[in-house]
């Protein structure tokens, strides 16, 4: 095992016997167990595994022995310039609005008014990445006015009138309105 004159590992032997990354270490450990027939406990100790984790590694290898340990080198990808995402493009604007103490909903509304729609969760993602904390809950009078539902008029039964009358229309001429007959003499 030791090839150096003084009994130490040579540089080339060290490459195989002292793996530099996890995949290489797994390969060498499995090779020692399956090819060199080194006992499981000794392999685990030599390569820094617990006996149980090495058994699990062997189990996974038996389940998929075609696993590739040494992958081909990736071709260098040419640098493709991607346009900035909407959130990265609007990051400075969102941060500036938050510094003006606007909530994520206020910022979303302001951006939408400028034609730049960004959801409140996306805005919060930007703000939390920039280190901003949540704003304290505001009282109702402190909140910005919002466009809400306009309440519909409610009918008042006391104003209901069944007296006969007439009205004029441009479509069908005068139409008399008659009160319906009351049942039971009420």
In the chain, where are the structural domains located? 11-63, 86-137
Q: For residue 27, give the nearest of 1, 35, 41 by alpha carbon.
A: 35
pLDDT in tens, 81-115: 677 677 778 888 999 999 988 889 889 989 999 88
pLDDT at 144: 67
CA distance 124 to 10: 56
Q: Is the pTM of this model over 0.85?
A: no
CA distance 167 to 143: 48
SS3 156: coil
pLDDT at 4: 53
CA distance 88 to 17: 47
- Where does residue 168 fall: left (phi above 0), alpha (psi -120 to 50 degrees), or beta otherwise? beta
pLDDT in tens, 10-26: 878 777 777 777 888 88
Strand partners, 177: 165
In the numeric block, the tokens 């009160």 are attached to 179
pLDDT at 36: 92
User: Residue 115 gets which letter from DSSP?
Assistant: T
Burial 83-95 (b: 16+ CB within 10 A, else e): eeeeeeebbebbe
Per-residue pLDDT tens digits of the chain, which is 186 residues long: 445 566 677 878 777 777 777 888 888 899 999 999 999 999 999 888 999 999 999 999 999 888 887 766 555 555 666 776 777 788 889 999 999 888 898 899 899 998 888 899 999 989 988 888 888 888 877 776 766 778 888 888 888 888 888 777 777 665 566 666 666 555
Is domain 11-63 annotated with CATH 1.10.10? yes
23 membership: H or E segment, kind and range: helix 22-34
pLDDT at 177: 62
Percent of the chain with pLDDT over 70: 78
């Amino acid at each position: 095992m030791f090839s150096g004159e003084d009994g130490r590992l040579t540089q080339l032997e060290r490459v195989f016997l002292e793996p530099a990354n996890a995949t290489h270490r797994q390969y060498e450990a499995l090779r020692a167990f399956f090819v060199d027939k080194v006992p499981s406990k000794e392999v685990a100790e030599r390569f820094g595994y617990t006996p149980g984790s090495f058994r699990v590694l062997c189990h996974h290898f038996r389940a998929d022995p075609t696993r590739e340990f040494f992958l081909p080198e990736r071709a260098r990808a040419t640098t493709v310039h991607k346009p900035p995402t909407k959130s990265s493009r609007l990051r400075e604007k969102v941060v500036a609005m938050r510094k003006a103490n606007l909530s994520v909903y206020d910022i979303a509304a302001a951006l939408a008014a400028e034609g730049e729609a960004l959801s409140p969760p996306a805005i919060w993602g930007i703000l939390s990445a920039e280190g901003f904390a949540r704003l304290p809950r505001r009282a109702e009078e402190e909140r910005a006015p919002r466009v809400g539902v306009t309440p519909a008029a409610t009918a008042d039964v006391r104003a209901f009138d069944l007296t006969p009358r007439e009205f004029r229309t441009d479509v069908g001429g005068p139409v008399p309105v008659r009160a319906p007959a009351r049942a039971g003499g009420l």
